[in-house]
Amino acid sequence: MRRLALLPALLLTAAVILTPPSVASAAEVGINAVGAGPQQSVEIADGVGARWVRSFVRWDTIEPARQDQWSGAPVAAIDEIVGKASLRGMKVLLVVFGAPSWANGSSDPLVPPSDAGTYAHFVGKMAARYKGQVAAWEIWNEPDADEFWHGTVSPAAYAPLLRAAHPRIKAADPATMVLASPSTGNDHRFLEGIYAAGAGHAFDGVVVHTDTACNITSPDSYYREPDGRIGQFSFLGWREVREVLVRNGQAHKPIIISEIGWSASQTPCARGAKAGQKAAGVSESSQAAFLRTAWRCMATYPGVLAALWFSARDHGHVDEELNRYGLLRTDDSHRPAFGALAAIGAGEPVGTGCGDFAGPRLEVLSPRPSTIFDRALLLEATGRDEGSGLRSISFYGAGKKLRTFGNLRNGQKVAFEWNRARYLPFGPVKVVVVAADGFGNTTREEIDVQRVDPATLPKQPTKVTLKVTGKGRTRTAKGRVDAPGFAAWRPGGRVLITWEAFRDGRWKPVHKMSRSASRSFTYRQRLRFGGRWRCVGEYQAERPFGQSRSKRVKFKVS
């Protein structure tokens, strides 16, 4: 979360580090010790059954003058909280950031140190002081964004800090965890960059923050980025972070959501990309409901070891986003979220099932597998998605996108003639149909068809059916041409419809019109005069289809 750069250092402790879960389970409960003093922070944590407590440690306030010269007051505060938390058997997660001016050459503590070794020296000394009492260390806070990292924001710039700190902390306390990339949202690309920068060995787990600016979306909803990955600022985006770990052969490394929360502010959003465009928070009942849903989501998918609510208590009296994340209000009354988290901390089952990741049901009506064709190829499909709705159906042929139909209703059929298929070489052709739902989940079906040379096929018999309707001199001929033993494609060419009148003792053609034989035809005709008439349809053969003629339909016009 982009906040609290100047908060005093607070921290609580932990004595045991859990093995990361290999299967989905409810994430352990934790809180951020923000908005309350050491004693109250421990009491709030105990009240919700928290096993983790996170606190901010400011390097620049502990070593303001020079290396190894520690300021007594901040260290005493840390010692106090560590002692109180240890008595309760809680784990501590410490995030260490803020460089003193002697280390970064700047009056701005959010400028990283000029030499990563100075930061590593400090955190190594801290780890030695609290050996066996601190479960994990976060290396800086949100280095993937310019709120807390006032330098070049990039994994390459951050990686030296991680590489330097990891061995110093592990040498001082081998049992503790060193956590990488406490990122704004679920920044999977930043983690990929850490691997690319050669720091994949320099961390024992990954930290993400899901309480991003004015987040008012339920945790089981999400969006996708243009490349199809779950969006960085979606709660469920930590699944992409886990995928990065898996791809790098480190699926055993846990994810800790060290900041999770939704503000209960009733003011307009004042920061982030959506400032002034949406609300800053949700209702208190929704805040509690989102909390319960979040833990259900974390129980549905593997990888999250712990989630720490931000924050223990409201940070200020003014109703604004950053001041309304607390489990307790400023008057120390409990929000509904306190009770929801306490139930989870007490072991209440959270259930499973979260997020719609199933693609739509897709039915490809045409072509069918092994279809052969010569010229145009009919492409037709329908789909259905009862969750987020059917968003689109796309057709691909011979490796190229042909057409996309969007804004579809469930069950709506879409179709078109792929006319340029006639220019493909003879031989196999792959048709691909992809249906997408409102969350961007897709279902894909591949159909192998073949374009053939009609000259190589045996002659196929055809049949023309014809029906005449209407009254008086206005009549309509309707019909079609079929190849009963060869349903692979519709006959090409034309069908000639002839209207004949009986004059002077014989049938004479009066009206003629041709129509495409590849689809059902309709021909409306105003007859020239009354009397006896008949209509006939004649298919003008086109290989491999043979010529045929319909039955003559006779009628009288008064």
* Per-residue confidence (pLDDT) for residue 20, from 0 to 100: 37
Across 144-170, average pLDDT:
97
* Per-residue confidence (pLDDT) for residue 15, from 0 to 100: 29
- Whether pLDDT at 143 is above 80: yes
Closest CA to 421 of 369, 489, 487: 489
Exposure of 526 by Cβ count < 10 A (0-12 exposed, 13-18 middle, 19+ buried)? exposed
Helix H, strand E, coil C: the string for 258-274 is: EEECCCCCCCECCCCCC
* Per-residue confidence (pLDDT) for residue 36, from 0 to 100: 92
Relative orientation angle of helices 188-196 and 155-172, to the nearest 10 degrees: 80
* pLDDT tens-digit readout, 332-382: 999 999 999 999 999 999 999 999 999 999 999 999 998 998 888 999 999
List CB contacts of 43: < 8 A, sequence separation 6 or more: none
Across 235-264, average pLDDT:
97
* pLDDT tens-digit readout, 253-276: 999 999 999 999 999 999 888 888
Residue 78 · residue 57 · CB < 8 Å? yes
- Whether pLDDT at 318 is above 90: yes
Q: Which residue has the tokens 């349809």?
A: 537
On average, the pLDDT of the chain sits at 92
List CB contacts of 504: < 8 A, sequence separation 6 or more: none
Across 189-208, average pLDDT:
98
- Whether pLDDT at 17 is above 60: no
- Spell out a b/e string for 437-454, using b for 16 or more CB atoms within 10 Å of the CB, else e: bbbbbbbeeebebebbeb
- Whether pLDDT at 18 is above 80: no
CATH assignment of 361-452? 2.60.40.10
Relative orientation angle of helices 336-345 and 284-300, to the nearest 10 degrees: 20
What is d(CA 529, CA 72) in angstroms, rounded to the nearest whole number? 114
Residue 291 · residue 341 · CB < 8 Å? yes
What is d(CA 179, CA 182) in angstroms, rounded to the nearest whole number? 8
* Per-residue confidence (pLDDT) for residue 25, from 0 to 100: 61
Domain boundaries, the chain: 28-345, 361-452, 457-557
Across 482-508, average pLDDT:
90
Q: How many C-alpha atoms does 452 have within 13 Å on its Cβ side?
A: 15
Q: What is the pTM of this model?
A: 0.81
> Which DSSP symbol is given to 35?
S
* Per-residue confidence (pLDDT) for residue 401, from 0 to 100: 97
* Per-residue confidence (pLDDT) for residue 272, from 0 to 100: 81
Q: Which two tokens stand for residue 33?
A: 């010790």
Window from 77-81, 538-542, 554-558 with minimum mean pLDDT = 77-81
Q: How far is CA 163 from the centre of its chain?
A: 31
* Per-residue confidence (pLDDT) for residue 22, from 0 to 100: 38
- Whether pLDDT at 109 is above 50: yes
One of 2.40.110.10, 3.40.190.10, 3.40.50.1980, 2.60.40.10 is the CATH number of 457-557, namely 2.60.40.10
The CATH class, in words, for 28-345 is alpha beta
Helix segments in 397-450, DSSP class H: none
Across 273-298, average pLDDT:
95
> Which DSSP symbol is given to 279?
B
Q: Which residue has the tokens 């990361």?
A: 20
* Per-residue confidence (pLDDT) for residue 298, from 0 to 100: 97
- Whether pLDDT at 542 is above 50: yes
Closest CA to 481 of 501, 463, 504: 463
User: What single string gives the DSSP state of each residue in 302-348?
Assistant: S-EEEEEES-SB-S-SS-SGGGS--SB-TTSPBPHHHHHHHHHHTT-
Exposure of 288 by Cβ count < 10 A (0-12 exposed, 13-18 middle, 19+ buried)? buried
What is d(CA 338, CA 261) in angstroms, rounded to the nearest whole number? 12
Amino acid at 293: T
CA dihedral 375, 376, 377, 379 (to 10 degrees): 170
Across 489-495, average pLDDT:
86
- Whether pLDDT at 13 is above 50: no
Window from 15-24, 40-49, 98-107 with minimum mean pLDDT = 15-24
Q: Which two tokens stand for residue 38?
A: 């050491």
Across 391-409, average pLDDT:
97
Dihedral of CA 149/150/151/154: which sign?
A: positive
Window from 128-132, 272-276, 402-406, 529-533 with minimum mean pLDDT = 272-276
Closest CA to 242 of 270, 207, 272: 207
Which of helix, strand or coil describes residue 169? Answer: helix
Residue 307 · residue 207 · CB < 8 Å? no
Q: Which two tokens stand for residue 297?
A: 């989501």
Closest CA to 422 of 394, 448, 397: 397
Q: Do domains 28-345 and 457-557 have the same CATH topology?
A: no
* pLDDT tens-digit readout, 19-47: 333 335 689 999 999 999 889 999 999 99
* Per-residue confidence (pLDDT) for residue 375, from 0 to 100: 84
